[in-house]
Chains A and B, each alone.
Chain A
Amino acid sequence: MIGTSQSLTAEQITELIDLVKKVHGFDFSDYSKASLKRRLTRIMMIKKLSFYDLKHKLVNELDFFQDFLEEITVNVTEMFRDPTFYKALNNQVIPYLSTYQHIKIWSAGCSSGEEAYSLAILMSKAGLKDKSFIYGTDVNTVVLNEARKGIYSFRNVKSYAENYQMSGLSGSLTDHFTTMYDAATIHSELKVNTLFSVHNLISDTVFNEFQLISCRNVFIYFETQLQEKILELFYKSLCPHGFLCLGSKETIRSDMFKEKFKAINQKENIYQKIGS
């Protein structure tokens, strides 16, 4: 069972946040507290560590931090998660994007690449493969390596196939994979126009100009003031009239950014940048 045995106090959590910031330069202070607490409790349980063991490892074992980061950040994702979102993207955004000469897409917080490849498939289906390029970024190097490989378990791909079907795209999700035993590899023609690299939304800056940024189910881990900071980064990273996609249950809370982004699909949280 997860999340029941040991309990961390608010003071202990603050202590861990400060320690990680000092030793590893990674700032968790504006992460949503309830979720962070659950992840910290979980890592202590999985690795059978007391609060003091955890502190000790974070200070004394340099390799442990990568492990810690992998467990703390949530890397659960699906291809075509929320089929209605992909449907809306296809109907409302793709026609607009197709007018651009080059379409640069940023999948921010891409984890193991499922969303980036979903977007690659969507672009390919729309006949825009050759003029689009997808950048996937995450803080976690382990999941980025998985994204680069583009190999998923066939069992998972089959479970994503239902999402694909519901998104209204023709054919089947498995058309885009080569399967060998339980390993399903995304077709190389879809991989060509992708690049996966490390980027920290909290501390890194603008690195390109995009026509579309998709950052879904990442904001849920951040408190609103941090969300606002990242909205600023997205705003600066978008071309005029560029699109921003948030998760189905994530909305722009900041009054300032409500003025800077127009919701073109309120239900699916698809926004378009206003002004330049």
Chain B
Amino acid sequence: MGLDKNIIDRWHNSEILLLGGSAGSFKLLFQVVKALPAGLNKVVIIVMHRKKNFVSEIEKLFAQNSRMPLKEISDKDKINKNTIYIAPANYHTLIEKEGYFGLDVSEALWYSKPSIDVTFESAADAWRDRCTAILFSGANQDGAQGMLKLRDEGSLTIVQHPEDAEMPEMPYSALNLNAVDYVLRTDEIFELLNN
């Protein structure tokens, strides 16, 4: 196998890694966090659907297994490279052009707060072609619009192969919108992230 040079170049050139996932993606995102090298030199933002009052041990679990500093986002936090940020439950996470996060408690989208669309669209607005976005398993259509906007701005957009996704609807929705540059098998995603 092997990834084509184009995707590797675009991955190397991107400064921000956006990861979106819902039902069936928790374990995979955990594996991704574990696999990300310490010297990645990118901003990593994870938007993961979850229940609002779920007492969150996720950050702790993720942080213990990450080679980079990891933190749950607070309002107006400055965005730094070599840090993994997790969007908090019951808020939408937005990106301010000046380089910090903004939170929002407005209506849920696709019954989801955080919404992947909100963060991805906001990232497209602030960072245009500087991102790589990967959309994983999920049982609704969240993320597809955001991927489309990122792709329109020139960012690299990737979905997990629907056959590999526990819940294929999310990757399918992005594909149906023609919002995807590459469809990768799960092992190819790990190969890329470690390249």
Q: What is the interface of chain A, defined by CB distance below 8 A to chain B?
A: 1-4, 7, 32-35, 37-39, 74, 76-77, 81-83, 162-163, 166, 217, 219-221, 224, 247-251, 253
Contact = CB atoms under 8 A, between A and B. Distances in A.
B86 to A, nearest CB: 12
Given A2-B109, A32-B96, A34-B96, A220 B53 contact: no
Contact of B91 (A39, A219, A249): A249
A219 B75 contact: yes
B106 A74 contact: yes
Contacts of B95: 34
A12 B122 CA distance: 17
A81 B91 CA distance: 12
11 contacts: A1-B145, A3-B118, A4-B117, A4-B145, A4-B149, A32-B96, A38-B104, A74-B105, A74-B106, A249-B73, A249-B88
Contacts of A163: 53
B76 A224 contact: yes
B142 to A, nearest CB: 11
Query: Which of A32, A166, A219: most chain B Cβ within 10 A?
Result: A32
Contacts of B149: 4
- Which secondary structure dominates chain A's binding surface? loop
Contact of B74 (A4, A38, A81, A251): A251
B94 interface: yes
Nearest to A247: B75
Interface in B77-124: 88, 90-91, 94-97, 102-107, 109, 117-118, 121-122
Q: Considering the complex of A and B, which 7 residue pairs feature the smallest CB-CB distances, nearest first?
A: A34-B94, A32-B102, A220-B103, A74-B106, A220-B75, A249-B74, A35-B104
A76 B74 contact: no
Interface centre among A2, A37, A77 (most CB of B within 10 A): A2
B74 A34 contact: no
Q: Which of A3, A82, A162 has the most CB of B within 10 A?
A: A3
B15 interface: no
Given A4-B145, A34-B96, A250-B75, 15 more contacts: A2-B107, A4-B117, A33-B96, A33-B97, A34-B102, A38-B104, A38-B106, A39-B106, A74-B105, A77-B105, A217-B103, A220-B102, A247-B75, A249-B88, A251-B75
| Size class of the contact patch on chain B | 20 to 34
Given A1-B145, A249-B73, A220 B104 contact: yes
A83 B149 CA distance: 36
B33 to A, nearest CB: 21
Contacts of A1: 117, 145
Contacts of A4: 117, 121, 145, 148-149
B43 interface: no
B189 interface: no
A55 B28 CA distance: 47
B75 A34 contact: no
B23 interface: no
Nearest to A224: B76
A3 B106 contact: no
- Best-buried of B73, B96, B103 by chain A (most CB within 10 Å): B103
A249 B106 contact: no
A251 B109 CA distance: 26
A144 B121 CA distance: 32
A2 B118 CA distance: 9
A4 B90 CA distance: 22
B125 interface: yes
A169 to B, nearest CB: 15
Contacts of A217: 103, 105
A249 B53 contact: no
A1 B103 CA distance: 20
B74 A166 contact: no
A253 to B, nearest CB: 6
Contacts of B94: 32, 34-35, 38
Interface string B126-169: 10000000000000000001001100000000000000000000
Interface in B36-53: 53
Contacts of A74: 104-106
